[in-house]
Structure 1
Amino acid sequence: EKYTKELLKKFHMVDSKPIDTSMGTNSKMGADEADLLVNQTMYRGIIGSLLYLTASRPDIVFSVRMCARFQACPRESHLKAAKQILRYLKKTADLVLFYSAGNSFELVWPQILRYLKKTGDLVFFYSAGDSFELVRYTDADFAGYHVAGRNTSRMTHFLGSSFISWGTKKQNSVALSTANAEYVAIASYCAQLLWIKQQLEDFRVLIHTIPLMGDNTSAINMGKNPVQHKRTTH
């Protein structure tokens, strides 16, 4: 909350009107050459500050990443979109990620907690071999970035009921259908997922299977079918 208020003050948005969303659902950001150019240093300063804030505010990741695509040649429409994010932050400055001390992480096996009293502090202890449920959710649009006809992948990772990782990324390939876009989204970020799994195993937290959640039946069927064909080569 403190950083958000400092951000609003730095970019002269303290007296701006707060709004309910960081970006409209039908927003189409492009490189309209008829639009006036704005100060590149100022625009990059706003985007850099917002990117730092996304470490604790997953609700603005998509809109910030979208605005970040135009740092090379920012125009008035891009600055307006960036300021909309700041206005949204003004209304939601008190939103934070909160993990309670009693969070069970939904252990597959009964959770074993040992309270250790040392210098007056309480410590949670999970015995070696306890199994957590690590789940990944993905989604993608189809040609949502109309400037280059590219799609945008989104993903979130949950450790039990706790939100631990999130991200959004423009896809490198041009998908031919919604199913293709969703299929690429499911396959992307796997390196990060394996890294999380390895980190947990280093602490002797066993992850046997990792569910990958998507909402496109065709993409799910493509993932289950090991046969390759023209539309699954990326």
Structure 2
Amino acid sequence: MENKLKRDQLPAKKAKNWKKSFKEEADKTFNLKLTPIVLQKETYKSLIGENENRVRVYLGLDNKKEDGKYVLCAYAVSSFLLGSGDVYADYETPVYKLGKKNEDFSDNTGEVIESIRLYRKWRAGEIDSDADGAAFRQYIYPNAYLLTKFELHELFNAQNHKEIVLEFGVAKTMNIMLSAASLSTEESTEQDKAVEPEYYDEAQLCPPFCDERSIYNS
């Protein structure tokens, strides 16, 4: 019997199933190369600011292939509540590229936008159009994720992790799963590997939760 789940936490079996399903998509619709996508605590603090804004993660592609494949990458921006509804709008800056080390791309938003547009061409089946399942990518893979305050607060503040890793799982759409980076990276200790990681997911997908006015959503 699993322990009582924390707010926005995924059941362990569900997380494993999502990861298994995502791995299976590599032979069907997902022909991109994955590298570690990490959100560092200092980046998180910079993005939420004093108003405790939310964090939106956009997916992109590096413009150079590795081993014949495009490399999936991710960019994080700060999103604030627009009015009294449930609509969140993006700040144009700061914007960070999320890798093993987070890079500030605030002075190079044009490169970020081109990376995001390249991913969306792949998602639409316009890139590698002859690959198996190219026509179905748009129904599986979203453009972006709006992370909740609760999952980030739990991992960064309550558990005091210096960084968290963003992984992907597939149910009917690709979902983002957050856990402590030390439990999911190659640098994990044997003690870390023996611990069942806590996964979190209540991120809102784009579409439908998009900021149509954002320069990163053009």
Q: Indicate whether the TM-score tops 0.5.
A: no
Structure with more relative contact order (C-alpha pairs < 8 Å, separation 6 or more): 2
- Which of these two proteins has the greater Rg computed from alpha carbons? 1
TM-score scaled to structure 2, two decimals?
0.26
Structure with greater strand percent: 2
